[in-house]
Structure 1
Amino acid sequence: MNELTQNIQKMMVPKAAIIAYKYEDRRNSDTRYFIELRPIGKSGQMGAGIPVTYEFMNTLLESYTEEMSGIPAGRIPENMLACNPRKGQEEYIWYNPPGKRQMFFHKDLNIQDGMFNLPGIVYHVKNGSMDVFAFKGKRPVETTPLFRAPFFNVTGSSVCLGSSFLEKPQNPTFLSLLDYWEKRFWLTEFSHLGGNVNPTVSNLVIVTENIRNNPFDMNELKPMNKKLKDILP
């Protein structure tokens, strides 16, 4: 039995109902509510009501607040291409134009840390995982071809986030959330070829050393045989 079949066959059963009472007499100035909890038995009938305590309501509110705390808010960044902030369905796609970035490397690669000239990068975060792609030009559109990201620690497009330890913001803005994910990628110590596959036409070590002081050679990019529209929700 596959997971989809199991989910379809699951049935939620009512266990309790919260009922709120309020005076209907307009002459009564009391605007308070009386709230009770009624258990629901196997037959579907409600049992005797139990007054709801402050402790119960506080627990309920705390659970809701914790569930909603990670949803980003605020101004939508200009480089955001798509987003779905709903809990359990989080997905964010954005880009960086070509530019310089600080990069860190494991000693076994014999590449000194420093600033490097990079092509445009598209980030795709979904369900806690991250994919990255390269693109040509300054800003991608739906028909923009995507290329393999010319970096270590990337298998296909999937990022290994092994050595980056950052605390996710509790009440993030869209800007701080994108910054968090970018830091998780760029503050990682680049250490290995993802899947033991070279992502550039030439040796990636040579390509990386070359872009320390020179513009990135776009001819080094390998196509992914997909366009931006193929990853948009």
Structure 2
Amino acid sequence: MTNITKLFNQEILPETVIVLYGKPDRDRTDKYVELMQVNEDAELVNAHPLTLSESVELAKCFSSLKPLANNFGNCNGVFPATVLKIDTRPAGNVTWYTKPKSVFMHFQQSSDIPSGKAKIPALVWKANQRKLSVFALKDGKRPKENTELYHAPFFNVYSSGEVCMGTTSLKTLAKKTLLPFMQEWERLFFDSVFSHALNNYTDDKSGQCVWKSLVNSKEKFPVDMLKKNHLTIKNIL
């Protein structure tokens, strides 16, 4: 509280406003940058084009910022529309969703399920650089806070949603920016061998038979078979 009180006692006032002008139908790099000063009455004065010396000072200011704790907090371009939340703190994570699609799935031979392409339901993913959790959705619409989640109907997934990645190396995730980070987690998940039933869904015979009938077929995943885990999006954000 002592440290916070000191911060409250420090007077911080606006000094400068930078305005970026551009036309929606023009190239995104075609911009006009204007700088305005803020006087004692909080009025914007002395508007003028950003000078070279002011640009240098601005660059110095940005370069003094601490880097993000996780590289996945960086994004080269527009943020993917599938992202639901990003937490860039050291213990932070990314939460995103994917629509129903076909993927190649690898099953252990002892499971008596052939490897091949199968259609999967919409999924919600939550990951940091060390851990992944996966949940299922009943439709491919962008989920809201109150959207219900279901157990992900895969082997190697605990009832909590956390994925057992076995001996899979996660070194490739360390320097990935946002979109490559998400894509790499999805690749690692589906490139792994689905081998062990870790929850009630995939442990029962009906759950295993679903994949046996879906692999190498054109059938959609039967979302009515998904089992509720009594969580919503809000619970995992």
Aligned residues: 166
TM-score by length of 2: 0.63
Alignment of structure 1 residues 11-90 onto 2, 5 Å = 70-74=71-75, 75=77, 76-86=79-89, 88-90=90-92
Alignment of structure 1 residues 1-233 onto 2, 5 Å = 70-74=71-75, 75=77, 76-86=79-89, 88-126=90-128, 128-139=130-141, 140-156=143-159, 157-195=161-199, 197-199=200-202, 203-212=206-215, 213=217, 214-232=219-237
Question: Could you tell me how far apart the structure 1 residues matched to 2:70 and 2:95 are?
Answer: 21
Shift of 1:204: 2.0
For the structure 1 residues 89 and 218, does the alpha-carbon distance in structure 2 shift closer, same or farther, using more than 3 Å as the test?
Answer: same
Q: State the secondary structure of the residue aligned to 1:160.
A: coil
Question: Could you tell me how far apart the structure 2 residues matched to 1:198 and 1:69 are?
Answer: 34
Question: Could you tell me how far apart the structure 2 residues matched to 1:217 and 1:95 are?
Answer: 19
8 Å contact kept, 1:79–1:96? yes
Q: Which amino acid aligns with 2:201?
A: N
8 Å contact kept, 2:125–2:133? yes
Structure 1: give runs of 5+ residues left out of the alignment.
1-63
Question: Could you tell me how far apart the structure 1 residues matched to 2:197 and 2:139 are?
Answer: 25
Q: State the secondary structure of the residue aligned to 1:208.
A: helix
Paired residue for 1:11?
none
Q: Which amino acid aligns with 2:190?
A: W
Q: Which amino acid aligns with 2:181?
A: L
CA shift digits 1:31-50 (9 cap, x unpaired): xxxxxxxxxxxxxxxxxxxx
Shift of 1:222: 0.4
Cα RMSD for the two superposed structures:
2.3
Shift of 1:131: 1.0
Question: Could you tell me how far apart the structure 1 residues matched to 2:124 and 2:203 are?
Answer: 17
8 Å contact kept, 1:149–1:199? no
For the structure 1 residues 130 and 189, does the alpha-carbon distance in structure 2 shift closer, same or farther, using more than 3 Å as the test?
Answer: same
Paired residue for 2:19?
none
For the structure 1 residues 200 and 117, does the alpha-carbon distance in structure 2 shift closer, same or farther, using more than 3 Å as the test?
Answer: farther
Question: Could you tell me how far apart the structure 2 residues matched to 1:155 and 1:171 are?
Answer: 27
Question: Could you tell me how far apart the structure 2 residues matched to 1:159 and 1:111 are?
Answer: 20
Question: Could you tell me how far apart the structure 2 residues matched to 1:165 and 1:128 are?
Answer: 10
Question: Could you tell me how far apart the structure 2 residues matched to 1:91 and 1:68 are?
Answer: 11
Q: Which amino acid aligns with 2:106?
A: F
- Could you tell me the percent identity over the aligned residues? 27
Shift of 1:119: 0.6
Structure 2: give runs of 5+ residues left out of the alignment.
1-65
Question: Could you tell me how far apart the structure 2 residues matched to 1:169 and 1:124 are?
Answer: 14
Q: Which amino acid aligns with 1:81?
A: L
8 Å contact kept, 1:89–1:127? no
Shift of 1:165: 2.8
For the structure 1 residues 150 and 200, does the alpha-carbon distance in structure 2 shift closer, same or farther, using more than 3 Å as the test?
Answer: farther
